[in-house]
Amino acid sequence: MRISRFLWAGAFAALVLFCVLQGRMYAAGQWSAPSPVSAYAIPSSALLQPADLNRILHTANAEKPLMFQVGSRVLFDESHIPKSEYIGPGAADYGTQALRNRVAKLPRKTFIVIYCGCCPWSHCPNIGPAYQVLAGMGFTRAKVLYLPNNFGADWASKGYPVESTH
C-alpha cells in the first residue's frame, strides 16, 4: 500500500505538534524528563533490519515476534506494522510502565520487537528507554527495529506492510 504525500505531511505535522506538546507537558511537570538512554546504547546484536523483519513476517513457518510501537500515538494511528501494539512513548514514564505491565508475565525468552520511527535514530527519545526496560527485565530475545531515518522512509516507503487505525 502506498501512502500519499498528503498523509506523510499530516503525520509530520502531528509529530511536530507531539514534540511541542511533549515540551509543554514536561515544563508543566506532567511528563517525565526524557531518559538519557540513547538509541546508540543499544547493542548491535539487538538490532533488527527492516528487510529481516519483513522476511520473518512473510515466512509461513517463522516464529512471529510480539511487536510494540513505543513512540507517538498519532503516528501509530496513521501507519504501523500490522499486528503491532501501541504501548506508549518510551521517553515517558507512563510509556515505560505500560511496557513493563504488558510484558511482566511473559516468558523471558519471548521474541519481542520494539520500534518507534518518529525521527532519525540519532534523535529518537523513545527507543533507548524502551529497550532498557526489556533488557533490565531479562528479556533475552528483545530486538529493536533499526529505522535510521524514520518509519516512513525505512519501512512504509519500501513497500513493507502497514495498516492504519483510521
Nearest to 109 by CA among 40, 63, 45: 63
- Look up the domain containing 20 and give its range: 5-158
Q: Which three cell numbers stand for residue 46?
A: 539487538
166 is a domain residue: no
Phi, psi for 142 (deg, rounded to 5): -80, 130
- Tell me the pTM: 0.79
Q: What CATH number does residue 80 fall under?
A: 3.40.250.10
146 is a domain residue: yes
136 is a domain residue: yes
Q: What is the CA radius of gyration of the chain?
A: 15
163 is a domain residue: no
Average pLDDT, the chain: 85
Kindly list the strands in the beta sheet with 112-115, ordered across the sheet, starting from the edge strand earlier in the chain: 47-48, 142-145, 112-115, 66-69, 85-86
- What number of other Cβ atoms are within 10 A of residue 46's Cβ? 15
**How many domains is the chain partitioned into structurally?**
1
164 is a domain residue: no
**Per-residue model confidence as pLDDT tens digits over 21-70:** 444 444 344 444 444 578 888 999 999 999 999 999 999 999 999 999 99
Is there a contact between 118 and 124 (Cβ–Cβ < 8 Å)?
yes
Q: How far apart are CA 138 and CA 135, in angstroms?
A: 5
Q: Which three cell numbers stand for residue 47?
A: 538490532
